[in-house]
Amino acid sequence: MTMVKESKQIAAGEFKAKCLALLDEVADTGQPILVTKRGKPVAQVVPVEGNEPPSLKGSIVFEGDIVSPIDTGWEADS
């Protein structure tokens, strides 16, 4: 049997006052929050799934030494 997470309910006015802390709570606990106005549901805040940053593996290309001076003259030197 799969356990369904019960949504925490909060009034819109209280959500407005505590919005940033509530967003952190959803991210930390994974528990959704149901926002209500006059007792009726109007929105639900749920955690984002797959919120891992993309991997940078393989995105770097080695171009050789780009710091040392070169011995080639430039046209601007003439």
User: Average pLDDT for residues 55-68, to the nearest whole number?
Assistant: 83
Residues 41-57: pLDDT tens digits? 999 999 988 767 778 88
pLDDT of residue 2: 43
CB atoms within 10 A of CB 44: 12
pLDDT of 1 reads 44
- Check residue 55 and give its pLDDT: 82
- The H-assigned helical ranges of 1-78 are 12-29
Report domain extents, the chain: 1-48
What's the rounded mean pLDDT across residues 15-21? 96
Is residue 10 within 8 A of residue 22, CB to CB? The reply is yes
Fold of 1-48: YefM-like fold (3.40.1620)
